[in-house]
Amino acid sequence: MIKVQFAARPERWGTYQAPLDAALAEAGLQVDLRQDHPAAEVDYVIYAPNSDLQDFTPYTGCKAVLSLWAGVEKITGNTTLTQPLCRMVDPGLTAGMVEWVTGHVLRYHLDIDRSLATQDRWEPVVPPLAQERPVTVLGLGALGAACATALAQLGFPVTGWSRSAKTLATITCAHGSDGLQHALQQAQILVLLLPDTPATENTLNAETLALMPRGARIINPGRGPLIDDTALLSALNTQQIAHATLDVFRQEPLPQEHPYWAHPQVTVTPHIAAETRPLTAAQMIAKNIQRSETGLPLLNQVNRDLGY
Ligand code: NDP
Ligand code: OXD
């Protein structure tokens, strides 16, 4: 019997227990899934960093920690966690992110705010076609690549940027610091889907914001530290950046006194761009345990040196 510990907020147990049991059984695994196994007996931990479990030292037999979250920046700093760590790649979460990003890109592209503001008068302004609106996506991982591909399917010329060189059929791919400069110079709309690591902090700062076309728009569902907030506020105030839609922040919930709340060129959403979906996430977790039990390498393992 494989012993799997579910370590997330207690209220998540009711949401995840049935999908996990079903997916693990469907994968042909004999699993005892609980919240209260003795630590030394646990084979796998399904984990959210806001759970009470912070000290992994007693989990001496644990073969892997399987994160329920895609972003692992709150876990990688835990020095007691020496087991292999896998981040969440979930088709349901990816679908949610594609919908959220596409919706916000189309809001900017079609200037939906203008239509709402002028709905009491006849002032025709025809939006350009998607093919005339270059979009850049920073980060071409599970989420960035899916969003970039969906935007390209709508007709946007999409440039994507990643750490390592990539080839994606419909995307102009760039990497490295020269690649970032090129990617930002194209970006009438910029989507941030990088992980929060020491190398990505302040990817958008005074210097890089200045590279973007004047009046560009920014959409950040990645993580708050990707942006130097002071530099963004200043770029908004000079109209270098026309508008920003921000879903993630250095401090969450975003403090009530933060200037983003009241800024007329900022839309704040409360970290809802995409959520792990229990049914599909459970299947991914079951697949990974099955792989590990049959001697195959774990999928989506975090590189602890890179931090993602
Ligand atoms: P992945 O790990 O699959 O992809 C990360 C991408 O970022 C990769 O393309 C990677 O490059 C690139 N990257 C990493 N470091 C650098 C760097 N220094 N320079 C350039 N590119 C870099 O992550 P996901 O796509 O699954 O998720 C991305 C992020 O989205 C998560 O880390 C999380 O912060 C955020 N997120 C937000 C949610 C929300 O609701 N707001 C929900 C879920 C996730 P390479 O391909 O070369 O490795
Ligand atoms: C995640 C998130 O990382 O919800 O999964 O942001």
115-163 confidence digits (pLDDT tens)? 999 999 999 999 999 999 999 999 999 999 999 999 999 999 999 999 9
Report whether CATH 3.40.640.10 matches the domain 91-268.
no
Compute the mean pLDDT over every residue in the chain, rounded to the nearest whole number: 98
Q: How far is the CA of 146 from the centre of ligand 2 (A)?
A: 16
Asked whether 260 and 254 are in contact (CB, 8 A), the reply is yes
d(CA 64, CA 79): 15
What is the residue extent of each domain of the chain?
2-90+276-293, 91-268
Which strands, in side-by-side order, build the sheet including 158-162?
Answer: 172-175, 158-162, 135-138, 189-192, 216-220, 241-246, 266-268
Q: What is the dihedral of CA 245, 280, 52, 301, to 10 degrees?
A: -90
Note if 37 is an active site residue: no
The confidence score (pLDDT) of residue 54 equals 97
- 2-90+276-293 folds as Rossmann fold (3.40.50)
- For 173-216, the pLDDT digits (tens) are 999 999 999 999 999 999 999 999 999 999 999 999 999 999 99
Q: Is 308 in the pocket of ligand 1 (CB under 6 A)?
A: yes
Reported pTM: 0.98
pLDDT tens digits, residue range 10-61?
999 999 999 999 999 999 999 999 999 999 999 999 999 999 999 999 999 9
pLDDT the model gives residue 266: 98
- For residue 45, the model assigns a pLDDT of 98
Closest ligand 2 atom, residue 68 Cα: 5
Q: Are 2-90+276-293 and 91-268 equal in CATH topology?
A: yes
d(CA 62, CA 41): 8
Q: Write down the residue that tokens 């008068």 correspond to.
A: 121
Average pLDDT over residues 225-235: 98
